[in-house]
Structure 1
Amino acid sequence: MKNLLQGVLGYGIGSIFILMIVFAGVLALLLRFTGMEYQTLNQMALIAGISILAFGGMLAAYKGEQKGWLSGGMTGLIFVSAMILFQIIFENQLVSLPQLSYFGGLVLAAWLGGMIGVNLPRRTVKR
């Protein structure tokens, strides 16, 4: 259980937040210094969000070493819950139906990433 929580909270959520911040900076630079349309950047953000959540779920399950579906699902749910909480607190808005479908896709991506991550081969050290 300790490995599961450490994988989810430490590696999964941590890597998601770091990658989201980095990609937000990249998108901001693209928006500022290129002639890209807002719609194109919006699609890039969608693809990046799903990919980053899948990677976070995969890393959480790999480090947790058990129950990949649970590790990935917990990682996705914790991240999405934080996003909803920030939206309610800082924007003073409830979640809309299109956002719920987006959040569901993020949780699903992390869940599937967890199932893949727990089955990745382990690197063993020979002594």
Structure 2
Amino acid sequence: MTIESKNMGISILYGVVVIFLVAVISSLIFSLILRFTSTAEASLQFIVTAVSFVSLFVGGFVSGGKGKAKGWLLGGGTGLLYSLIVFLFGYLGHDSLFTVEQVIYHTCYMLVAMMGGILGVNMTTSRKA
């Protein structure tokens, strides 16, 4: 294993950890809102989807910033690993496969994570003229 591939793997792992941390924190906030207000779960669906996309973008951004090169690959790897973990959880834990709608969502998640990775590399890499 080369140093570059090890660095890429660590960067992707950092991104996925950030995604799940944002997911846990937002889940706690949403569960408190649902518990202590009269808000219905259906009314939060758009907000939950938006937070999901933001968390994937942030995870891609972190992985790109950590890796400092090939942001599209790091972001894509981050989105792919996240989708794989979610798929395995659903398949092994609930015996269900992705629906067509979930495949579309996870494809968009990977694209958003790729964009975050690209931006993360470009925002954290100092350029000399």
When the two structures are superposed, what TM-score results if normalisation uses the length of structure 1?
A: 0.91
Secondary structure of 1:35's match?
coil
How does 1:28-47 map onto structure 2 within 5 Å? 28-47=31-50
After TM superposition, the runs of 4+ consecutive aligned structure 1 residues lying more than 3 A away are none
Secondary structure of 2:123's match?
coil
Residue in 2 that maps onto 1:112: 115
How does 1:48-127 map onto structure 2 within 5 Å? 48-122=51-125
Aligned CA-pair RMSD: 1.2
Aligned length: 122
Q: Percent identity?
A: 32
Letter of the aligned partner of 2:102 in structure 1? Q
Measured after TM superposition, the shift of residue 37 of structure 1 is 2.2
Secondary structure of 1:119's match?
helix
Residue in 2 that maps onto 1:21: 24
Long gaps (5+) in structure 2: none
Letter of the aligned partner of 2:98 in structure 1? V
Alpha-carbon distance between aligned partners in 2 of 1:72 and 1:121, rounded to the nearest angstrom: 14
